[in-house]
A and B are shown apart, each in its own frame.
Chain A
Amino acid sequence: MVDFSRSEGGDSQSGSTSHGDGDLLSIIQHAVHLLPSQGPISVFVHHNTLHAFQHLPFFTALRRGVEVYGCEPFLSEEAFHHKLADGRIRLEDIEQVLSEELGAHGEDKIAGLTTRFKLRLTMAKDPLYLGSGEELEWQIAETQILKKMRSEVSGATRKGMVESTRHWALRQRIPVETTISEEPSATGIDLAPFLQELSFGASESAMDRWTEHRWEEFCLTALWKVCVAGAKRNRRERTESARLMRPCDILKQVAGEDVDRLVNELLIPFTAAFLDQGLSQWSLPGRDLGFYEAFLLHASQTGFLAERWFHDGNVHVRRLQAENVSALDLIHELLPKLGIAPEETEEFLTQTLLSLRGWAGMIWQTETQASRIARPSPQGTLVGFLAVKLLLECHALTYVAKEAGVWTGSLADIRKLPASPQPLPYELTAMQCASVVFQMAQLLGWSPETLYHLPRRDWRALLAEIESFSNFERRRLLQLAYERRYRNQALDAFTAHARKPHVAATPVRAQVITCIDDREESLRRHIEEVAPDVETWGAPGFFSVAMYYKGVADALETPLCPGNVRPRHWVHEEVANGFESSDQLRRKARKVVGKLSRHLHLESRSMTRGAILATFLGPFASVPLISRILFPLQTARVSEVARKLMEVPSATQLRLERATPEPGNEPGQIGFSPQEMAGIIEKVLRDTGLTSNFASLVLLIGHGSSSQNNPHESAYNCGACAGSRGGPNARAFAQMANDPRIRKLLADQGIVIPESTWFVGGYHNTCNDEIEFFDVDKLSEPVRKSFFSLKEKLDEALAWNALERCRKFESAPLTLTPEEAIRQVKIRSEDLSQARPEFNHATNAICYVGRRERTRSLFLDRRAFLQSYDPEQDTPDASILLRVLQAATPVAAGISLEYYFSCVDPAGYGCGNKLPHNVVSLLGVMEGAQSDLRTGLSSQMVEIHEPIRILFVVETTPELMTSIMDRDTNIRELIQNEWVQLALLDPNSSQLHLYQAGAFVPYRPESSQLPVAGSSYEWFRGWRGDMGFASVLASEPKTFRKTSRSKEVF
């Protein structure tokens, strides 16, 4: 069909303009930064979706996101207006934000009609109807927009406008010899025939009889026509978009044929087969050769049966094989064929990769993160992928252009086909400009006559002003107002609450240390409410125990630490002495059952054995089918019992201590040295400030989540454990802290843990709200007793926690009791058909770093990460705060930003609706039968989220914070570029400082009122929507007795 043989001399000799191999590689490397950096879905690490632009200010990055990915930067204007109507944004927030933004420029007159402030405020607060051309035509023809003024227009304005227009029209009916020569209107309208036409040539007497409504219609029609004429005549011409169009884009427009789709139908299955981690039973032959070579091997075999457009592909491919053309050579060869000039190469290759960015990103992950992937890809896979994609594109383009009859010449000239480039996002057409002026005229009371007489200069100024306050800018303003509203509420609450410090109970019954996770906020609050003599603390949920962990029943080691940390230590769980033989039996049983179910799994998909299985065992599948769906909880209990028979004996222990000097994965090297252990304990205790006044019980609670039929299950686990479950970390920590030798080492460092104090590790399942404790049998008798009485309290708190969670599930009634709530969340965790097992981090909005006393008994609605930190125990240069923030900031900001982006554009930044998801290659999900690999969060996960940038509230002084920002670039980048908001709580007073435009300014509270509620339940009951802040009395040891409430509801 097309000559793909190597052109003589041509491209390779034009050396000065074409790129060398190194150049091309660095171009590809550069483009790779824009690809999603999500790894395999079974290890889900939350991170900033726009990480590639983190060096830019937040709003600039959003704009880049629009340009590069074509994704939405904010919620829709409609959504913001709903929030305005609901009171989530107040008018005064918009006014405040706007006046801060505009400063003195706000009072500038625009076209002599209004001020900039007023114009922008009106454009932002009232919905603007801006349809496309056809939509606008339809609105004019079919709706009331030219008959009735917008409903927001006040009666007086309406009356004034109609009256003046009437006056104007009637006046013009009587021609006079004027003494002043009137300047022609900037709208280009000739007045007399214009008015004549508008009134349909009605006579004076007829017009006299016109009703008010008729005059209103007249006024609006005149206004509309004046606006259209004015906008068309005076709008400055748009600059053309410079965005490069790939040949595929051009052909899509010209021929209506999606070349990418044709290419993807071959490329996606091949890529999936190449990356497959073990889903298919027959691995890609020739995979070891590498992506590009394997593709050549396969494509060279194609012939008669191939897709029409790749019909002659095998000839081309055989030539490539014969001439030993490498992937990079092929890219070099194809670029000029596609008509890509050397200076366009980067843009073109970037767009080519981005057009299938999920898969391209995953290839890069499997290539570069080899240690975290079972079957990594060899180096150069992405380059091979790019070469293959371009090769396929060339063939498909040639075929489609010819078939559609739009082009038969050389491939390079497809780019010369007449195609209109994509309009820049948020540019207005002339008609849309007219529509804005039309609406503003009504809302601000500009009569048609005023606009008719408006000089050309003013028209231009008005239109320029309107265009500069684009959809992006309006939404940016609304976003700022939205954030301001919540921030002020939060800061008011913090100020008011900080004024009445908490008085600690003495003696303290227990201390509970949980993860900083926002989901533990409510659990901590309920623990404090049911047991006011318990203190709670927060630390990142891996508790500084960074390790590769292998449980007794695990096949593989899991890294349990934040995603950016590479563990140096290994820890294994072992069966306790005396249980080995029973463990061997159980292990065998597990193995047999595992192998059996694997065979069932595979053979049900084969032919003959599948037939036997289906016919004879198939009917029995109806038993689990029916029971799992109709009775999920009971089924789970039954299978739990069955599993117990083979489960690991509960008597296990961690191999924590090593003998050799160097850590490693060999038998002697497993574990930590005592010094390392003491270091870990000291770090957590110093970070949180729990260095004295130890209670007799200190509980550490890691967390994770379990749900069914959920490919994103890992995303619900602990963020500080890189999407794994943090139970073993808590257990390891407790075991270390209970070791007398470690305590001795700690005492040398000045932290004295009394002998009577016991640490117990636990694991909180945030989906079904159960806590499992480890090594309870090792507790000595008196401690044991107080532990179990405390555990009762914890169970009570868990039930309240479940109830608080349930209020956000639409399918759970608001009238649940705590017991019913526990049942409800347990079902959710076991139900195959549940698309929302829990809401994960949705609604996260605050990250508080400081003493718990200052937030204890403050109702934070599960929206706050809580890191314990005591400024009074810090070194003068805040070195503790520095390391605390170094750990907490990336986790909290990553989660917050991932939620932000997936929420504002679930289909673009997120992975869309989870219902059609289809697990592919054991690496990720596609939508339906075949699609790009989808990264990010699903719309079910973010549907109740409020996308605002997380507000850090840190208990420190501006000076220390500034010095920390100077010392850590990552923290500085996030704060200075405004990816997170920052406020500082003064350690000695209730004064807050807000970080604004590069400086800390004292915050003046809007209100000093903070509602008071007896208990959390009293506050949140009966309400699904978001809850304001409140002071909860129950957790104050002296003011309230808990038991009364418990009895009443339990």
Chain B
Amino acid sequence: MLDLEFLSQVLAVTTVVTPLMLVGVLGIASLFSRRLSERVTSRLTQFVGATGIVASVVILVLMLITGSRHNHVTLGNWVILNDPSLHFHFTFKIIFDRLSVPFAILIFVLCEVIATFARHYLHRETGFHRFFLLFSIFQAGMILTAVAGTVEMLFAGWEMVGLSSALLVAYFQNRAAPVRNGLRVWIVYRFADAAFLLAAIMLHHLSGGGDFDVLTGVTNLQTWPEGVVEITETGTAILVGYLLLIAAAGKSALVPFSGWLPRAMEGPTPSSAIFYGALSVHLGAYLLLRVSPVLVVSPWLWGAVIALGLATAMFAAITARVQTDIKSALSFAALTQIGLIVTEIGLGAAIGGRIGQLIWYFALSHIIGHACLRTLQFIRAPSLLKDYGQLENATGSRLLHRPILFTSSLPGPLQVRLYRFALERGHLDTLLTRFFVTPFLKLFRGCDRIERAWANLLQGGVPDSPHHSEPSHQQSESRT
């Protein structure tokens, strides 16, 4: 038994370390301008993916054999502050439990498939190596997020995913639109990350460390999702919950951040498929599942989760129907399901108990099924015309628009209004710009002016800052 445990610990470390090593190899090669051949690059990536699949499947089997439900590997305490007023510690900890094992297997399988796909698809591209480097960062970030045992590790993985996503959106860097949209994705991610970081700090204050098992009340007997949170400071817990919800909303493109999702379709098809159809867009939901026992704490918390999920699902369902390009249609279809998944997580927390846990399991399988389905649809997106032709032949007639019952029963002006709302994607970007970005910029430009005035008063003649003098937000955007 001990040997099996040791084996599963080794495998657990392997799942995390091999993707990181791949990042190192590809990154260092690029750093020193040593071009690896296409073949070597893709074979290495495929090898790491295959290793990951084998390792995580074996872990699953071992867990089934040993009946262990919670397998964690601690790689030492790196910082311990014993001062009782600070009581801070920082641990590297990998958790393999009923949440992370299926998710890790999903990540490796999809990454392997997409790596194989990209090997042919990006053949002879000038950015071939860049793609695979970013892809390896993404893969490492995903797996780190999936098996993170502490909020710090999760944050590290989360950041790797964010960075590689934004850079892959901007993959075709010689055109303006991908770069602009990549930046937009990056800005939303940063905002979500800021919320996450605040949550992490508060978590430390709350429980003295970033460990999820402490936070979510997981012990060796009660593993996810059975953990029971014992927090005395409910108010802080709610705040942490809200911050994590914002972080999840940014990453999973929930309302009101949904505007970036269709804009992220600038990259090559395989990256659109895996990022926005399958993996990274589910990361927010995964985070909520990871901290799901916290959500139970207050109706304010699970209520907000349900509301956000439902709002997103309904918004995306309406919007998906009017999209005229296949990638946008698929991305809003994906968003509909993510909204539902988030709703399920909230419902699980609302109901609680065995049934609540079952709902969480359902949400997890929803994530997995949805990721597989959507990846397939995304990578087949360019086949659309052929598929339509075949469907037409099979059904023997032209495929025309299907009237949708509830919209066609609406009165005319309302129909037009709803259609326009959907066509302009809920005006979410406009709303964000108007009520968030513009006031934000105004505030800080005001601060800048005050500071400048002060400095002028004190030392005289401070030149105008070149970056802060634009009168409109759009200009600062276009400058990039």
Contacts and interface: CB of A to CB of B under 8 A. Distances in A.
Contacts of A587: 396
A610 interface: yes
B34 interface: no
Interface string B306-347: 000000011001001111111111101100110010000000
B398 A278 contact: yes
B388 A915 contact: no
Contacts of A619: 365, 368-369, 372
Interface in A241-273: 255-258, 266, 269-270, 272-273
A605 interface: yes
A629 B329 contact: no
A280 B401 contact: yes
A404 B476 CA distance: 11
Interface in B219-272: 262-270
A571 to B, nearest CB: 17
B384 A711 contact: yes
A927 B366 CA distance: 31
A278 B388 contact: yes
B396 A257 contact: no
B181 interface: yes
Nearest to A632: B120
Interface string A651-676: 00000000000000000000000000
Given A590-B394, A713-B386, A928 B423 contact: no
Contact of A832 (B117, B326, B330, B370): B117
Contacts of B390: 594
B382 A710 contact: yes
Interface stretch (B23-31, B150-158, B430-438, B453-461): B430-438
B337 A611 contact: yes
A832 B382 CA distance: 9
A810 B419 CA distance: 48
A553 interface: yes
B421 A305 contact: yes
Contacts of B362: 615
A470 interface: no
Interface in B395-431: 395-402, 404, 407, 412-413, 415-417, 419-424, 427, 430-431
B375 A918 contact: no
A745 B392 CA distance: 40
A723 B267 CA distance: 29
A246 B39 CA distance: 49
A553 B337 contact: no
Nearest to A611: B340
B177 to A, nearest CB: 6
Contacts of B416: 285-286, 297-298, 301
B392 A931 contact: no
Contacts of B262: 929
A555 B373 contact: no
Contacts of A297: 416
B385 A920 contact: no
B285 to A, nearest CB: 13
B172 interface: yes
Interface residues on A, range: 35 or more
Interface residues on B, range: 35 or more
Contacts of A708: 383, 386
A284 B419 contact: yes
A383 B292 CA distance: 56
Contact of A591 (B322, B395, B420): B395
B113 interface: yes
B17 interface: no
A594 B372 contact: no
B177 A929 contact: yes
Given A276-B324, A556-B398, A617-B373, A629 B336 contact: no
A503 interface: no
B175 interface: yes
A343 to B, nearest CB: 33
Contacts of B123: 810-811, 835-836
B324 to A, nearest CB: 4
A278 B401 contact: yes
Given A591-B396, A629-B116, A302 B420 contact: yes
- Among B333, B376, B389, B396, the most chain A Cβ lie within 10 Å of the Cβ of B376
B324 A256 contact: no
B265 A833 contact: no
A630 interface: yes
Contacts of A379: none
A272 B325 contact: yes
A921 B376 contact: no
A279 B117 CA distance: 26
Contact of B427 (A306, A590, A595, A710): A306
Contacts of B124: 810, 943
A625 B472 contact: no
B77 interface: no
B395 A595 contact: yes
Interface in A569-603: 587, 590-591, 593-595, 597-598, 601-602
B463 interface: no
Given A915-B268, A931-B177, A598 B417 contact: no
A916 interface: yes
B380 interface: yes
Contacts of B474: 257, 400, 403
Interface in B454-480: 471-472, 474-475, 478-479
Contacts of B419: 282, 284-285, 298
A270 B323 CA distance: 10
B83 interface: no
B373 A618 contact: yes
Interface in A827-860: 831-836
Contacts of B330: 605
Nearest to B390: A594
A607 B322 contact: no
B404 A610 contact: no
B340 A835 contact: no
Given A598-B399, A913-B172, A926 B325 contact: yes
B391 interface: yes
A554 interface: yes
B325 A281 contact: no
A616 B398 contact: no
B268 A41 contact: no
A301 B381 CA distance: 33
Nearest to A614: B370
Contact of A282 (B379, B389, B401): B401
A82 B465 CA distance: 47
B125 interface: yes
A278 B399 contact: yes
Contact of A280 (B177, B321, B383, B389): B321
B440 interface: no
Nearest to A589: B394
- The 10 A-B residue pairs with the shortest CB-CB distance, nearest first, are A618-B369, A594-B394, A605-B333, A928-B266, A614-B370, A920-B325, A283-B401, A272-B324, A833-B120, A618-B373
Interface of A: 41-42, 255-258, 266, 269-270, 272-273, 276, 278-286, 297-298, 301-302, 305-308, 374-375, 400, 403-405, 553-556, 587, 590-591, 593-595, 597-598, 601-602, 604-607, 610-611, 613-622, 624-626, 629-630, 708-711, 713, 810-811, 831-836, 913, 915-922, 926-931, 943
8 contacts: A257-B472, A400-B474, A594-B390, A598-B395, A629-B116, A710-B383, A832-B117, A929-B181
Given A281-B401, A594-B393, A913-B172, 17 more contacts: A256-B478, A282-B321, A282-B422, A306-B427, A404-B475, A594-B390, A601-B387, A605-B332, A606-B336, A614-B369, A619-B369, A629-B113, A629-B117, A629-B379, A713-B385, A810-B123, A927-B172
Interface of B: 109, 113, 116-125, 172, 175, 177-178, 181, 262-270, 313-314, 317, 320-330, 332-333, 336-337, 340, 362, 365-366, 368-377, 379-402, 404, 407, 412-413, 415-417, 419-424, 427, 430-431, 433-434, 471-472, 474-475, 478-479
